[in-house]
Structure 1
Amino acid sequence: MFLVKYLFGLCLVIMMVAGTVSAEQNNKRADLITVYQQAIVNDAKLSAARHEYMALRETVPQARAGLLPALSIGGSLESVRLAMEEPEFSRARSQSVFHADINQPLFRLDRWLQLDAAQASTARAELELRAKEQGMILGAAQAYLDTLRALDSLAASRAEEAALKRQQEQAQGRLVHGASSITDVLDARAAYDTANANRKLAERKVDDAFEALVRLTNHEYSSIEGIDHHLPVQAPTPNNAKFWVGKALQQNLSLLASNFAVVAAERTNQQQKAGFAPTLDMVASYRKGDNDGFGYSNPAGVGAPEYRGDVSRNSIGLQLNIPLYSGGMTRSKVRESTERLAQSEDQRDDRRREVVQNTRNFHRAINSDVEQVAARRQSILSSQSSLLATVRGRELGSRSLMDVLNAERQLYGAVREYNNARYDYVFNTLSLKQVAGVLNAADLTSLTMFMNKGYDPDRDFLPPRLAVLSW
């Protein structure tokens, strides 16, 4: 009996522990590195890009095969019936032939150029894949930051809704005691209803943001770690746009890929022009079979004894081919490849201009974000002081309820702008590194030093010294 109770109790403990572990896994809090790592493994677009690259790599051995020997072997087995009228004669027999052929290209200019074009295209595809993998760092960070934006915006909306609810209740209480008018009550109710609608919209945006994380990582999360308000907000180092533009022109992966695209187009154009050149191959063959298979049939009655043995034949030689006219196909392909070359050069030039523009824009954006974060933080302080003064003025009769409501909305608007400025700074910093070609996973790791593992949006959407918003 004791053993039964012991085993029953042990099973209960195991079930409780398993339930606790399962609950912890279901409620696992996402962090930035985990989101990135799972995105690298599970993102369908990146996986498709890897498969595309692996497929494009095969164009090199395919092009090289055109320069290597081609060897083939085969055979044939036939049943032949021979009939003659004068003199009357009929015979049936089987014939078999074995053959081996080899073809070695000696001069194939078009195939050499095709190989060069394939190698350049593969190099371009590799750089494009690396650019997509680098873009995944930014994509994971953007999805994570968008989720934090939504959570902080929801926290501000909840706080604003609660504050306006208090104003509505106070206006209703003043109306009962004759210290307020019905207009104040209606104004307070309208402000609260608007805040309530905004809060519901913010909740939907939070759900949308988490769904974006699910699509990216193929994992579901109920919460994420936040970014601490002590994150340093500094100008890029060095704070020189020309430096970053120069680095981008040298290391931007998409721009480097476009350079190889031009090289591939040049080789393809030369390959098509080589269609006018002669070709020279060495060919060799070996044949062995019975005499009928080679057409040496010598039946009885013709005047010579019949030979039924095997016959073999060897040959080796050079095969020269000089193209003269192909219906205009070669000239058409040359014109097409010439236009493709011009297209790739224009695309490279456009990409270079885009890289320069984006580099300068992100550099300016970071410097603006540094100023914005400081200004928005100060705006919160000013809005808090303004709200406090307006509330006191309302108590003294020098301010109206509408003034108080406007001050409340202004305060929480400043809160949202402050958080947006913080996340803009982080995203623009990573974007500048990406366009310069220096972004890597270590940049995400450095951000984790400023992550708040116990992040609670309703508590941490404001800096600690500015967290008290009600009086």
Structure 2
Amino acid sequence: MKNRPGTARTNVSARRPFLSAVLLGGFVLAFDVPAAHAESLLSALARAYVGNPDLNQNRASVRAQDEEAPKALAGLRPKASFQAIAGAQTGAAKILAGRSAITGQRQFFTDEFISYPRGATLAVSQTIFDGGHTESAFRQAESSVLAARARLRLTEQAVLQKSAAAYMNVLRDSAIMKLRMNNISVLEQQLRVTADRFDVGAVTETDVAQAQASLAQARSALYAAQAQIKTSVAAYRQIIGDEPRRLEPARSVESLLPRLLNEAVAVALAENPGVAAALYQVDAAEQAAKKAESVLSPTLSVSAQIVNQHDSIMGIPGSRQFAAAVIGQLNVPLYQGGGEYSSIRQAKERLGQERLNADVQRDSVRASVVSSYGMLEAAKASLISGRATEMAAETALIGVRDEARTGKRTTLDVLNAQQSLLNARVAIVVAQRDVVVASYEALSAVGGLTARSLNLDVPIYDPRLHYEQIRTKWFGVDAPAFR
């Protein structure tokens, strides 16, 4: 490219440093930041992984779901109760003394008394057999816990995906705003050149008006860009939890994706947490149906009771009562109004519903993978096309400006060429953002967008630790140390 003198050419050259920053390193979107104080995309994702309220709320929900397992196991654990009584009572006893020798009527005498009854009762019971109700309830609880963990992974993926999009949106909008600010500088120079040429009679007043109109439109576009970046910053703050400061370039995660679409679909059907959650819900529904059927089975239990009371027999002071009993109880349900049969049918219908939902989830995941891969390929193609367009638009602008000096082109031609170059550069910025975001969306659809796969510098949250702490816990109201 020839180096021609001229004010307008100097302004075009001034744009090259920024363009180099935008196009740095393949699929990279960047703007000038001091590297020592910059934040990377991975560090932003780590911040969201630790502090995002939606993700933390879901973790608490999983911990609450964990408690269903020990609740289910309580069905075959012993139950014990202790009851103590103490008090005072007064009364009178009417006692037959005999018959009168004269009248033959019965004679009574009244004995008033006051006593202080007291005592204690200890009762223990143990279910020996409950028709498999407890076992089914426990297996249902475990499947529900696994489903909750899968939904947690789904939330983790959604948070990381949204965080990546918020990060890239700030980068994109910052770059676009700088492009538009630079465009205003170029158009201001173009207006000065056009006004100077008007003063010497080289152009008409129409050319000046066209330059003024283009400058006004550029300023309006800048105001819109400033408003857009405020929106993106607010979304960044909401998702990641802090204000964006000096963001570094970001790259796509295509290296973590299966190369072929068919492979990606197969991996997604096996590993996507949405599918996993649906399959665990099918398991839970199967156990719920078995639990409902268990009410038709006989149950066997044993209970023991020890009673020790004083001054409680008719209020007689000094009386004492002690009793101990061991009782076995067999309960065989015959008919209880038909409600139990309705519950069984309902549980079986819900099982069918969950199976259909699993099919729906598989179809949804398959469509999501195909769509995300298509969006990624489209974004990459747009980036390649945008770069070619930018090179051609820059060459065209230089040529149009040179021809305008000799009168072969009008001011409007120059302004249109300048706008075409700006549009090409904005399209490149948008395409770079789309490539990165689409790669994260594709990785999420496959089921591999996790803090572990991204190698984030954070302690990985493991829900299994809390579950193992409370699974066989018999008593205690304090939450485990690890949460």
Query: Normalising to structure 2: TM-score of the pair?
Result: 0.78
Partner of 1:190: 213
Shift of residue 166, structure 1, vs aligned partner: 2.2
2:120 to 98, 108, 122: 98
Specify whether residues 341 and 253 from structure 1 end up closer, same or farther in structure 2 by C-alpha distance, changes over 3 A only.
same
In structure 1, stretches of 5+ residues that fail to align are 1-26, 300-306, 447-471
Q: Which runs of 4+ in 1 moved over 4 A?
A: 231-238, 324-328, 442-446
Say whether the 8 Å CA contact 1:235–1:367 is kept in structure 2.
no
Say whether the 8 Å CA contact 2:117–2:315 is kept in structure 1.
no
Specify whether residues 298 and 382 from structure 1 end up closer, same or farther in structure 2 by C-alpha distance, changes over 3 A only.
closer
- % identical equivalent positions: 23
Partner of 1:405: 415
Say whether the 8 Å CA contact 1:43–1:216 is kept in structure 2.
yes
Shift of residue 241, structure 1, vs aligned partner: 0.9
- SS of residue matched to 2:328: strand
Structure 2 CA distance for aligned equivalents of residues 140 and 233 of structure 1 = 14
Partner of 1:359: 369
Partner of 1:129: 152
Residue 238 (structure 2) pairs with residue 215 (structure 1): yes
Structure 1 CA distance for aligned equivalents of residues 270 and 187 of structure 2 = 55
> For residues 73-118 of structure 1, what are the alpha-carbon distances to aligned partners after superposition, in whole Å with 9 as ceiling and x for unaligned?
1211232323134321111101112111111112222232111111
1:58 to 52, 67, 89: 67
Partner of 2:269: 249
Number of residue pairs matched by the alignment: 409
Say whether the 8 Å CA contact 2:151–2:274 is kept in structure 1.
yes
Which has the larger helix fraction? 1
Specify whether residues 364 and 378 from structure 1 end up closer, same or farther in structure 2 by C-alpha distance, changes over 3 A only.
same
The 10-residue stretch of structure 1 (103-112 or 194-203) with the greater mean CA deviation from structure 2: 103-112
The 10-residue stretch of structure 1 (70-79 or 363-372) with the greater mean CA deviation from structure 2: 363-372
Partner of 2:283: 263
Specify whether residues 59 and 233 from structure 1 end up closer, same or farther in structure 2 by C-alpha distance, changes over 3 A only.
closer
Partner of 1:88: 110
Partner of 2:247: 224
AA aligned opposite 2:429: N
1:40 to 36, 46, 49: 49
> For residues 388-446 of structure 1, what are the alpha-carbon distances to aligned partners after superposition, in whole Å with 9 as ceiling and x for unaligned?
22222222222222222221111111111112212211222222222222233466569
2:322 to 312, 315, 321: 312
The 10-residue stretch of structure 1 (325-334 or 216-225) with the greater mean CA deviation from structure 2: 325-334
> For residues 323-366 of structure 1, what are the alpha-carbon distances to aligned partners after superposition, in whole Å with 9 as ceiling and x for unaligned?
44545543443344334323322222111111111112222333
AA aligned opposite 2:268: A
> For residues 357-384 of structure 1, what are the alpha-carbon distances to aligned partners after superposition, in whole Å with 9 as ceiling and x for unaligned?
1112222333333322222111100111
Structure 2 CA distance for aligned equivalents of residues 238 and 373 of structure 1 = 21
> For residues 127-155 of structure 1, what are the alpha-carbon distances to aligned partners after superposition, in whole Å with 9 as ceiling and x for unaligned?
21123223333232221111111111112
Structure 2 CA distance for aligned equivalents of residues 443 and 148 of structure 1 = 24
Say whether the 8 Å CA contact 2:252–2:440 is kept in structure 1.
no
Say whether the 8 Å CA contact 2:116–2:311 is kept in structure 1.
no
- SS of residue matched to 1:226: coil
1:113 to 107, 114, 136: 136
> For residues 266-290 of structure 1, what are the alpha-carbon distances to aligned partners after superposition, in whole Å with 9 as ceiling and x for unaligned?
2112222322333221111111112
Shift of residue 309, structure 1, vs aligned partner: 4.4
Structure 1 CA distance for aligned equivalents of residues 60 and 83 of structure 2 = 36
Specify whether residues 209 and 405 from structure 1 end up closer, same or farther in structure 2 by C-alpha distance, changes over 3 A only.
same
Say whether the 8 Å CA contact 1:233–1:425 is kept in structure 2.
no
Specify whether residues 378 and 431 from structure 1 end up closer, same or farther in structure 2 by C-alpha distance, changes over 3 A only.
same
The 10-residue stretch of structure 1 (274-283 or 117-126) with the greater mean CA deviation from structure 2: 274-283
Structure 1 CA distance for aligned equivalents of residues 270 and 253 of structure 2 = 27
Shift of residue 234, structure 1, vs aligned partner: 7.2
AA aligned opposite 2:192: E
Shift of residue 236, structure 1, vs aligned partner: 7.9
Alignment of 1:136-155 (within 5 A): 136-155=159-178
Structure 2 CA distance for aligned equivalents of residues 208 and 232 of structure 1 = 23
Residue 376 (structure 2) pairs with residue 349 (structure 1): no
- SS of residue matched to 2:217: helix
CA RMSD of aligned residues (A): 2.6
Say whether the 8 Å CA contact 1:36–1:137 is kept in structure 2.
yes
Specify whether residues 444 and 373 from structure 1 end up closer, same or farther in structure 2 by C-alpha distance, changes over 3 A only.
farther
Structure 1 CA distance for aligned equivalents of residues 407 and 180 of structure 2 = 28
- SS of residue matched to 2:86: strand
The 10-residue stretch of structure 1 (323-332 or 336-345) with the greater mean CA deviation from structure 2: 323-332
Query: Normalising to structure 1: TM-score of the pair?
Result: 0.80
In structure 2, stretches of 5+ residues that fail to align are 1-35, 95-107, 457-483
